Amino acid sequence: MQRDHSRGGEGRDGLIGLFWFSLLRIDRERAVLRWAEEKPQELRLEEIGETYGRYRLHVPELERGMMRSLESYGQLSPIVVFLHEGRWELLDGFKRLGAARKLQSMERLVARRIEADERAAKAAIYGLNRAGGRTREIEEAWIVHALVREDGLTQVEVAELLGRHKSWVCRRLALIEKLGPEARAELQVGLLTPTAARQLVRLPAGNQAGILELVRREGLSTNELTGIVDLWVECPARVQQQYILQHPREALAQEKGVDLPSHDPRLSSAGNRIFEQLGGLLRQLSRMEVWLAHQGRTGITPEDRRILQPRFERLSRDAASVAALSADMAMECENDGRIDTQRNHSHVLQPSLASPDREDARCRP
């Protein structure tokens, strides 16, 4: 079944595509990419080349859906081709062509021709699909990479050609040149989202496989991946990175701190006071733990270390005392609040804790 295509086709191949192409500049002489004057024509399937199919994803499920559509309704809109070295090359309609080749009832497709060179042809692939609202970032990246590395355009020229900002071009180029092969393969088949891929390209290529495996193993969300990459970039030491790989969510929690409520309606006034103090103390401990684990050995100068040493020594002593007392308190709470008032804590009580307002002179910088 064939339809009348003399009026320029339907949907994205119609007015939207014509309007977009009327504005697209393809070279420094400001030549305009345009449709050929002639009406759509029928082409035998074997006449149509698929050289430019390397810039499109092949999705078998969509091709099978196109087969059903062609069987039920025929070809509703023409494919788009251009004449290259004496052969018709397909620019838009790869699913239609693939589906038609699997149907014995179809030997020809109706096609419209655009006048273009190789650069403009690649831009046309992007433009026709953008007009239909169905571009994928990996396909855009393939086109950008080809225009820059094969055709020798600068990123600014590619941005002008495609009607996008230079930063957009730079991000697409990074998906090809900075994304590791394993991540690129997963992006191509849809297992990795473009947003996640953009996070991975912030990492050296040698680290991407490990983080990608972490994402799969732990089922990390895109937001969690972003946090992990942030931590990784800030923590160059191997021991810190190993901790992130082994305990990703714990590392993220330490980075963000513990956001505890400041009031519990079940507690008395005295209970809520200590509840609030514990919350503030835990938040401070969490921040200090993150700093010590991820920045402490690289973030300060030797002179800083000399001055801060007495305070870290006091922190170590006092933290040990508080840890021992807290363990006792937790045990007493577990025993339904039956507190043994005769218990002697003198073995853990430090003078500095007994007099919290008095600072040990040795700790002063």
- 69 or 272: which carries more pLDDT confidence? 69
Tell me the average pLDDT across 144-163.
Answer: 94
Q: Are residues 363 and 307 part of one domain?
A: yes
Q: Are residues 13 and 60 part of one domain?
A: yes
Residue 267: what pLDDT?
81
Q: Are residues 309 and 295 part of one domain?
A: no
Residue 338: what pLDDT?
52
Cβ contacts of 15-20, under 8 Å, gap ≥ 24? 16/131, 16/132, 17/127, 17/128, 17/131, 20/127, 20/130, 20/131
Q: Does residue 85 have a pLDDT over 70?
A: yes
CATH of the domain at 23: 3.90.1530.10
Q: Are residues 128 and 11 part of one domain?
A: yes
Q: Are residues 65 and 36 part of one domain?
A: yes
Average pLDDT, the chain: 79
- For the segment 114-123, what is each residue's pLDDT rounded down to a tens digit? 988 999 999 9
- 338 or 348: which carries more pLDDT confidence? 338
Tell me the average pLDDT across 221-237.
Answer: 88
Residue 214: what pLDDT?
93
Tell me the average pLDDT across 73-98.
Answer: 93
Q: Are residues 35 and 96 part of one domain?
A: yes
Tell me the average pLDDT across 321-344.
Answer: 72
Q: Which residues make Cβ contacts (< 8 Å) with residue 192, sequence separation at least 6? A: 183, 186, 200, 212
**Domain presence at residue 151:** no
Question: Which among 83, 112, 133 is the end of a domain?
Answer: 133
Radius of gyration of the chain (CA): 32
Q: Does residue 190 have a pLDDT over 80?
A: no
Tell me the average pLDDT across 272-289.
Answer: 80
Tell me the average pLDDT across 276-305.
Answer: 73
Residue 291: what pLDDT?
66
Residue 213: what pLDDT?
92
**Domain presence at residue 197:** no
Q: Are residues 119 and 56 part of one domain?
A: yes
**Domain presence at residue 180:** no
Q: Are residues 116 and 2 part of one domain?
A: yes
* Nearest residue to 55 (alpha-carbon basis) of 24, 96, 86, 90: 90
Q: Are residues 66 and 55 part of one domain?
A: yes
Q: Are residues 111 and 1 part of one domain?
A: yes
**Domain presence at residue 186:** no
Which structural domain, as residue segments, surrounds residue 251?
A: 203-256
Q: How many domains does the chain have?
A: 4
Q: Are residues 119 and 219 part of one domain?
A: no
Tell me the average pLDDT across 113-134.
Answer: 85
**Domain presence at residue 214:** yes
**Domain presence at residue 331:** yes
- For the segment 87-120, what is each residue's pLDDT rounded down to a tens digit? 999 999 999 999 999 999 899 999 999 988 999 9
Residue showing tokens 């690129």: 184
- For the segment 19-42, what is each residue's pLDDT rounded down to a tens digit? 344 344 444 333 345 777 678 999
Residue 292: what pLDDT?
67
- 213 or 289: which carries more pLDDT confidence? 213
**Domain presence at residue 62:** yes
Q: Are residues 306 and 228 part of one domain?
A: no
Question: Which among 133, 154, 182 is the end of a domain?
Answer: 133
- Decide: 40 and 2 in contact? Cβ < 8 Å: no
Residue 4: what pLDDT?
42
**Domain presence at residue 14:** yes
